[in-house]
Amino acid sequence: MTQLRRAYTLLLSSQAVRQSALLTIGSTTTAVLSAIALIYVSRVLGPVQFGIFSVGTAIMMIVSKVGDMGLATIITRQLPRLHDDPQKQKEFLAQISQWKLLLTIVGISLIGLTIPFAQDLLNYPYPTLLFLALIGSIGLIIYEYVFLVLSAMHKFQWVGVLNVLQAAMKVITFVLLGITGYATATSISVFYYAAPLVAALIVSTFFGQWFFILPHSGSQTLRAEVKKHVGHAAVGMIAATLIANIDVLFVQKYLSTFETGIYSASMRIALFITFVSSAVGGVLNNRVARYQTSQLLHSYLRKSLLIVLMAATGFLCFLPFAQYVLLFTLGPEFSSGLIPMIILVFNAFLSLAIVPLISFFYAVDHPNYFSIGGILQVVVICLGNLFFLASYGLMAAALSRVAATALHMAFTVWYVRYALQIVEKKES
């Protein structure tokens, strides 16, 4: 009993444990609220309208990356290293916010010109929803910026508030739309896109000194860091977004809107695990960025095996209840999506197992890992859908994701060993 009490005290005294607990609680709450919101919407809209809505959100997610272009990776790498110098933190964020503003204005303006062509290319004749996705991407850019800065500053309690606030707003507005009979793909999209922006603006008012400030002078060190990493980081970031959304666009183009709704709803079930992965990565990325010796990195990698074990156990626990999860959440209308849902949930757990290995690259100087890994996954998903989607339907889309993730895992394990050998050689 005394030993258990001592272990409990040691855990509480660990800053990493406290931060992980805060972020896990916030992310779990967010995941539950988001699941409730999207499950409710899928039931109210039905497969076809939900498919129309989901294509719009996928486009919004992809477009939002024009305001990042790899700056998220720069923030995660650099800001934790300035932890003890608030003035340099301010200078850093001032320049980052200026670059994000410029990228957003130029990127969104150029993409806006492609709306007429996108309707034909994607078999998506809904210009209003395309326009809303474009506007919604601006709100998401601001939301993700605030999220990243708070995470890098280790303000994890506010990260939790930010996440829970936007998810709660979605639940409340969606339920009100459903009760009043105004729930359509368009009305749901408006409030879905507005929630992150409103939440980010509310939370950022408490940290006015950190957000959206103009730089007084340039930093040659920061410019050199950005120049070195931003190209690879941009490719990696855009690839990650395509990985998460592009198969929905393939399904919309080559199959029916009904099947798009089925597939998108199945993805929402896997979203819960994705939130857990984001929470774990949010803590690990910012902590591992400080590890600069092979001894610390070896210790970290040994501990990361616990997450691999957690992912394997989680999927095995989910499997016997998969059918009940689908019926009690999405409803019988979506029953044809059972097998794709199981495959997508398996892929989500597989992705969770890779998270600690990805975080390793925030400590070492190998920016090309993100671009190469991202490109490999996008290529596999695109080829899988192009060659097999028309013949094998939703199974092909789901299995393409698994193939991409498995390849990424193999590549990551190899690259971790390679990078670790370089660190050890430098120390010897």
Query: In sequence order, what are the residues at sequence separation of 6 or more whose Cβ sits closer than 8 angstroms to the Cβ of residue 377?
Result: 239, 243, 404, 405, 407, 408
DSSP 14: -
Residue type (1 letter), 83: H
- How large is the average pLDDT for residues 297-324? 89
DSSP SS3 for 384? helix
* Exposed/middle/buried for residue 380 (C-beta within 10 Å: 0-12, 13-18, 19+): buried
Going by pLDDT thresholds of 50, 70 and 90, the confidence category of residue 7 is very low
- Which residue blocks in 320-367 are alpha helix, DSSP H? 322-329, 338-360
DSSP 202: H
pLDDT tens readout for residues 144-186: 888 877 877 777 788 888 989 999 999 999 999 999 989 999 9
Return the H-helix or E-strand segment holding 326: helix 322-329
Q: What's the pLDDT score for residue 8? A: 46
User: CA-to-CA distance for 107 and 104, rounded, in angstroms?
Assistant: 5
Q: What's the pLDDT score for residue 22? A: 66
DSSP conformation letters of 62-104: HHGGGGTTTHHHHHHHHGGGGTT-HHHHHHHHHHHHHHHHHHH
DSSP 79: G
User: CA-to-CA distance for 13 and 109, rounded, in angstroms?
Assistant: 49
More confident position, 74 or 345: 345
Of 348, 358, 55, 100, residue with least CA distance to 211: 100
Stated pTM of the model: 0.77
